[in-house]
Amino acid sequence: MSRSRLVKLGLNIDHVATVRQARGGNQPDVMSVAWEGIRGGADGITVHLREDRRHIQDQDVFELKRTISVPLNLEMSVNEDIVRVAMKLKPEKACLVPERREELTTEGGLDVCRGRKRIQQVVCLLQARGISVSLFIDPVPGQVEAAGAMGCDFIELHTGCYANRKGARRRQELLRLEKAARLAHAIGLGVNAGHGLDYENVVPIAKLPFIDELNIGHAIIARAIFVGLRNAVREMRQLISSTSLRTI
């Protein structure tokens, strides 16, 4: 069967909360920003409730879940405290990510092979609450297969290496992502991608086979300073839409 589809855009708004936390008040208001992103064409809102609560707070995730009109995707570690929050929150989607306190942002994919037991436990707990679970992994066949064995719904392919490289090395990385996407699809997993994507590098990723959703934060929030958030999301949405209509 063949059908055409549009790649979705998940807007990550962590950095809005980073600015708010810098002064401790409620400016910029995360809820209004989420709505502005939705008006610009975001298909979902993504937030990472980090263990150190450096940007998004517990109150934010509950308020977002209560008020937004699109699916909420909660990025989270497998830490017990965070899992407890997720089970109470019941977001439509959760993406399990590795987390280290000293990192500036999520630096690598989950090592599903090494963390098998705990990851499996958390996948089961979340799915039992009706949450669609994805694992954020590097585009490595062994990791894709291990994710498949966990029974998760999706993988999110880490595009950080692709984003950081240029020329032939970037093309090589793109090929690795394509192979991982094909393998994931073949074993029945949905495929998302994200990290480091921007207006200059997003198109080849949107064109990859079987991509369901791209999660993008930093580049859109940075662009919003110049053109406003609604326009920044709209521009990204247009880039993705113009390239992602295809037959699978």
Interface residues with ligand PXP (CB under 6 A) are 12, 14, 48, 75, 95, 97, 105-106, 136, 156, 194-197, 215-219
- 163 vs 200: CA distance, rounded Å: 9
Nearer to ligand PXP, 134 or 244 (CB): 134
In angstroms, the first-to-last Cα distance of the chain is 8
CB of 224 to ligand PXP, least distance (A): 13
Which C-beta is closer to ligand PXP: that of 91 or that of 217?
A: 217
φ, ψ for residue 43, nearest 5 deg = -90, -15
- By beta-carbon proximity to ligand PXP, the closer residue of 12 and 143 is 12
Choice between 25 and 224, CB closer to ligand PXP: 224
- Shortest Å, Cβ 219 to ligand PXP: 6
Cβ at position 214, least distance to ligand PXP in Å: 8
Spatial CB neighbours of 166, under 8 Å, sequence gap ≥ 6: none
Q: Which two tokens stand for residue 96?
A: 């399990």
Tokens coding 79: 């830490």
Report, in angstroms and rounded to the nearest whole number, the Rg of the chain calculated over CA atoms.
17
| Residues forming beta bridges with residue 11, ordered by sequence position | 45, 216
Nearest approach in angstroms of CB 110 to ligand PXP is: 9
Q: Any idea which residue has 């405290």 for tokens?
A: 81
The residues annotated with a catalytic role in the active site are 48, 75, 195
Measured from the CB atom, the residue of 3 and 156 that comes closer to ligand PXP is 156
Q: Smallest distance, Å, CB 244 to ligand PXP? A: 17
